[in-house]
Amino acid sequence: MNSKHQYVELSDGHFIPALGFGTYKPEEIPNSKTIEATKIAIEAGIHHIDCAYFYQVEEEVGLAIRSKIADGTVKREDIFYTTKAIEKCKDAGLAKSIGMSNFNCRQLEMILNKPGLRYKPVCNQVECHVYHNQKKLLDFCKSKDIVLVAYGALGTQRIKKWVDQSSPVLLDDPVLGDLAKKHKRSPALITLRYQLQRGVVALAQSLKENEIKENIQVPNSKTTEATKIAIEAGFRHIDSAYFYQVEEEVGLAIRSKIADGTVKREDIFYTSKPGEELFPKDENGKIIYDSVDLCAVWEVECHIYLNQRKLLDFCKSKDIVLVAYSALGTQRDKQWVDQSSPVLLDDPVLGALAKKHKRSPALIALRYQLQRGVVVLAQSFKESEIKENIQV
């Protein structure tokens, strides 16, 4: 998983990357290590950086972020930086969202019931890992639409003045080791996957380059689960791409549904787009684009607002099938799309048609494409939407 492909929505409408980088370090380690580790984390694809005044490394973290902005690795808006903010910071535009840290259920309840509360906390950051899973607190937070953020996700920080050094080390746990061996993953990745599957935002802290780069590879569990639901609902055409960075997760879902008897391999029509390294190249290393022998399908963005009429007519004339991605509207990725642009499924004409035919706007949009002879790709992570879309 690349962290930019997996987010958790906060109750105030903002999105937090599901995997973050923790910057706490023991006192004996020099602060300069934090600068380098944070740079490595950002380069590896982690854009959620967690810090606190207590850690005494905010300046170093800031230097690392500014450095990666300056060299073009990221833009400031790409970075989700968490520290311990108050209402005045949000009023001044210095903070997008406000959360809590180390609050239990009773304390959170007191905050939520505080007279004159202007900003409901959107998250609560606590120590949370396999040995201390915070189930009661997690259930409470979910009931209040508060995201739980786990620090110490790879095990308790083993600071001598706080922790008995003879206590077990989480990543050395034999059960965790067996799971890691079974799934051909490190114990750290199994631990992080455990948190993401529970809907917990996990902070993975390390100063070692190889560990930082490994931690970002935690599989995208949402993609696996959504693909399973799609197959169970009746979808047999599964589309992916190297660029999406979820082909492994899609494969896990397909193999799982084959293994449990839901489908046979021959039932699944799997489409993908390879990475550039798989394309043929000339002696100078440039991609050869004219080496395709046969083009049976052409996949493009295609929906009611971008109906690709001219291209569709051309494809039909050449006996090429047009496949529509974003059939339910342009993916509203902030780095590509103006967030003030209209949302297709909120279109009033589409809404009127949906009301007339007693269908959802999504089903009307999908039916429109099928009637034109277009193959449509309907994307969603919500079980209810996936099951509805197959009813077209």
Which residues does the annotation mark as catalytic? Answer: 55
Q: Coil, strand or helix: which one is 327?
A: coil
**Contact at 8 Å (CB) between 331 and 337?**
yes
Return the CA Rg of the chain.
24
Q: Coil, strand or helix: which one is 270?
A: strand
Buried b (16+ CB within 10 A) or exposed e, 13-38: eeebbbbbbbbbbeeeeeeeebbebb
Q: Coil, strand or helix: which one is 376?
A: strand
Q: Coil, strand or helix: which one is 110?
A: helix
Distance CA 374, CA 300 (A): 11
Could you tell me which of 58, 56, 47 has the C-alpha nearest to residue 21?
Answer: 47
Distance CA 279, CA 301 (A): 22
User: Which DSSP string do the residues of 133-186 spell out, in sequence order?
Assistant: --HHHHHHHHHTT-EEEEESTTS----TTTS-TTSPPGGG-HHHHHHHHHHT--
